[in-house]
Amino acid sequence: MGDTKSIGIAYRDQDIDGGTIGATTPSTGRFTTLSATSLSAPTMTASGDLYIKSATVAATGSTQGDAAQLAGGFTLVTAADATKGVKLPAAVAGRVIIIKNADAANAVLKVYPATDDAINAIAANSAYSMAAKTSMMLVAYDSTTWYTLPLLAS
C-alpha cells in the first residue's frame, strides 16, 4: 500500500518486509496499531538528501530465466563476461533502477527485463547489452516497458 505523505512533489512507496496490523476503529476505519519490523524504502532527510537501497550483485546465467535478479535502487554488478546477466524486477510505472557494470575487463553485461517486459525498443524478453564501466538509469513507463536514461540506441 502506498504512503500518501508527500515528499516534495513525489510520493514514497514503502516496501514492508514484516510487521503487524491491529484492529480498526469502527467510527473512522483507521488502524489502532501498526508495527513494521523492517522498512526498506527510500529515505529523505530533513535537509533534502535522498537515500535509496544499494546492493552488489554478481551477474549469473546466460538467459533471462537464470540471470541474477535485481531488487531495485542502485546495484553494482560484478562478474560480467559478455554472457552473464541480471534481470530487472517487473516494470511498475515510475519505478527507477540504477545499474553500474563494474567489470574492469571490458566485458558486456546482459540486462534482461522481467518476463514479458521490454527495454527501450528491444523485443519483449530480450537482453540489453550494457558496456563495461558504464552506468544506466532505467525508468518504467508502464507495466511492461523500461526506458534507459539517457535513451540509448537499441
pLDDT tens-digit series, residues 44-80: 788 888 889 999 999 999 999 999 999 989 999 999 9
Which fold does the domain 54-149 belong to in CATH? Jelly Rolls (2.60.120)
Residue-level pLDDT at 24: 58
* In the chain, domain spans: 6-41, 54-149
Q: What is the pTM of this model?
A: 0.71
d(CA 10, CA 34): 24
